[in-house]
Amino acid sequence: MSVSRAAVVVTALTAVSTVFGFVRDVVIAAVFGAGPSLDAYLVAQGLMNVVLGLVAYAMARSVTPVIAREVAAEGPRCRGHHSFDTAITVTMVVLGLGAVVVGICAGPVTAVLAPGFEEEQAELTVTLTRIVLLATVLIAGTDLLAAVAQAHGRVVWSSLQGVPFNIIMIGSAGLFGPRYGIQALAIGFVVGSAARLALQLPPLHALGLRIRPRWEVRHPGFVEIARLMPPLLVGSAIANVNSLVDRAVGSTLGDGAITALSYGWRLVNLPETLLIASLLVPLYPALGAAAGNVREVRRLVSRGLSVTVTILVPLTVVLMVAALPLSLVAYGRGEFTADDAGTTAVAVLWYAPALVAMGVRQVMVSTSYALGDSRAPVLVSLAAMAINVAGDILLAPVMGVAGIALATTASLVFAAVANAWLLAGRHAAVEVRPALALVARAAALGAAAALGGAAVLAATDGASPLVQGTSAGTVILGVYVAGLVLVRAPERLVPLEMLRAARRR
């Protein structure tokens, strides 16, 4: 399968999986509401991710390029990979031991990572943690098997893995949640993780790939995998630390705060996952191919920024202006009350600017890696983590949920700006003046669109949340696009070009 066709397949299947994931969140919110039990479940997931994220993610990302080179050297007939056998064996042993240790120490760890939980809620968190820890090796195995399949050019099954998982989670919440409580969701998480793993077996069978336990840690292939891990390990650890600190501080704000933050973040992150992460897929191989041509790298970076800013700025304005109607439409049913939706809307409002920052950071970090510079993004991530942690501690007591969301947004904005500055200074890969002009136009047009959206929201006061959100969103997008055309902005053609490219593919 060609790179362009693979990108289209991955984009489409990822979108399907993301939509199922959103439906899962809606069902869970309706059944459990933003209360102490769902807060406990989210913290338990965070503890599992400490074990999982520190090893599995980095190992899976490190495996792909090494195995891909072995595949290219061996030809179409796969005879197995000692390096991969060792990688999956080491990962299973390390994660299995880690899960046992965290399970034994779940009580004291919960007391540290959720200091605001009362005794009953803390005990529930310990129980849920021990259940979801069973999924640790299942998820790690899924990621590694998907990585080896992708290295052989098989991308469909790995892209579909979220579908059975989310269907099982929806069933666990909707069918068993009302009778058995939040434990049904934790058990569903384990069963869904097993289904994800099972979905990775067909491509391996088709390849005739046999995996055997090995401990050949001095094998050249595994040595190379281990060498690639440190920067990915740091990045994964930073993401998990940020999430744990957010939830630890959130646990001191009362019942439902952790859920509101989690659901608010998912609503903000949805456009980035569906649009930018997919639309920029073709950019990455192009950056790698152009690494020796500064002029071409600048052009590609400029193109990536134009797409990111042009698409995400109006969506950010929609999220900020219509935060409450959108939260009510997305989650406001069943046990998820209007007050819960109001708290979630506060999180959405303060998280929303991070949407643009995430897109810009993605372009800059990808360019740095394509140019062989992995150190700068890691250093920026460490500084951003410090900003997030300090912001949580300082702002949460004053602003509550809004303070935690603002701290996350500030850290991501810093990461976007710092990565762009380093990329421009170290590699001359960013055309600074055009980039600043792009941001200035977007800010001005976004402000005008926000005024139009706020006016419509006020005019439709009393209407249903769906009518309010749709009306405000339509006006915001209309004003923004009209503004691009009116000022003859260079990026005004980006949406049309994206549609033409999608039609050609």
- pLDDT digits 0-9 by tens, 26-75: 999 999 998 899 999 999 988 777 766 667 777 877 787 777 777 766 66
Give the model's confidence band at 459: pLDDT under 50 very low, under 70 low, under 90 confident, else very high: very high
- What is the structure's pLDDT at 418? 95
- What is the structure's pLDDT at 290? 66
Q: What is the pLDDT of residues 366-407, one digit of tens each?
A: 788 777 777 888 889 889 999 999 999 999 999 999 999 999
Average pLDDT estimate for 423-427:
87
CA distances from 2 to 153, 154, 160, 161, 282 (A): 9, 11, 19, 21, 11
Least reliable range by pLDDT among 8-17, 233-242, 249-258, 362-371: 8-17
- What is the structure's pLDDT at 4? 46
Average pLDDT estimate for 122-146:
90
Q: Does residue 496 register a pLDDT over 70? A: no
Q: Does residue 280 register a pLDDT over 50? A: yes
- The one-letter code for the residue type at 199 is L
3-class secondary structure, 206:
helix
Alpha carbons 151 and 149: distance in angstroms, whole number: 5
Ranges assigned E (strand) in 167-245? none
Q: Does residue 502 register a pLDDT over 70? A: no
Q: What is the pLDDT of residues 204-231, one digit of tens each?
A: 888 777 888 889 888 888 888 888 777 7
Mean per-residue pLDDT over the chain, rounded: 85
Alpha carbons 132 and 94: distance in angstroms, whole number: 17
Q: Looking at mean pLDDT, say which of 260-274, 299-313, 350-364 comes out highest.
A: 350-364
317 and 476 in contact (C-beta within 8 Å)? Answer: yes
Cβ neighbours for 377, distance < 8 A, ≥ 6 positions apart? 231, 235, 364, 365, 368, 369, 419
37 and 118 in contact (C-beta within 8 Å)? Answer: no
DSSP 326-369: HHHHHH-STTS-HHHHHHHHHHHHHHTTHHHHHHHHHHHHHHHH
What's the burial of 208, exposed, middle or buried (CB within 10 Å: 0-12/13-18/19+)? exposed
* Residue (of 262, 288, 309, 247) closest to 435 by Cα position: 309
- What is the structure's pLDDT at 19? 84
- Report percent pLDDT > 90 for the chain: 41
Alpha carbons 149 and 209: distance in angstroms, whole number: 9
- What is the structure's pLDDT at 79? 65
Q: Widest CA span of the chain, in angstroms?
A: 69
Phi first, then psi: give them for residue 27, nearest 5 degrees: -65, -45
**3-state secondary structure string across 291-304:** CCCHHHHHHHHHHH
Average pLDDT estimate for 277-297:
66
Alpha carbons 421 and 425: distance in angstroms, whole number: 6
Q: Is the pTM of this model over 0.85?
A: no
59 and 144 in contact (C-beta within 8 Å)? Answer: yes
16 and 325 in contact (C-beta within 8 Å)? Answer: no
* Residue (of 94, 125, 132, 121) closest to 109 by Cα position: 125
Cβ neighbours for 16, distance < 8 A, ≥ 6 positions apart? 160, 163
- The more confident residue out of 246 and 242 is 246
